[in-house]
Amino acid sequence: MNTRDHLLLILAEECAEVAQRITKALRFGLDEIQPEQELTNEQRLGVELCDLLAMMEMLQSLGVLTAYPDRALIEEKKLKVAKYMNYSSTLGLLDHGPDLNERRMG
């Protein structure tokens, strides 16, 4: 295994850790602090996202990833997510209640 493959493997692990932290936050709440932990699920999610970004930067420094993050792609994704959130809402499957407002998404 070379350095690039090793870093890509860690990137995959970090993606899995982000997904796990999200599921914990959804199951137990963003403000919950697990036993024997000091940070909330929200804070722990932030740590995992920083770990993910660190791996992206390391891969960028090797030239494996280039031009990321790309602001245009990010804005395009936000529009796509908003479009499908609205569609889900019209189907009665998503409540745009007080848990998430437009200000926090942007």
> What pLDDT does 77 receive?
96
CA 74 to chain centre: 12
> What pLDDT does 21 receive?
97
In our burial notation (b when 16+ CB lie closer than 10 A, e otherwise), range 76-98 reads eeeeeeeeeeeeeeeeeeeeeee
- Give burial (CB, 10 Å; 0-12/13-18/19+) of 60: middle
> What pLDDT does 63 receive?
94
Structure tokens, 56: 């992206």
How many Å apart are CA 71 and CA 64, to the nearest integer?
Answer: 19
For residue 54, the surrounding DSSP H or E stretch is helix 41-61
Residuewise pLDDT in 10s, the chain (106 residues): 999 999 999 999 999 999 999 999 999 999 999 999 999 999 999 999 999 999 999 999 999 998 778 899 999 999 999 999 999 999 999 997 666 544 455 5
Domain boundaries of the chain, sorted by first residue:
1-67, 69-106
Q: Is the pTM of this model over 0.75?
A: yes
Q: Which residue type occupies 68?
A: Y
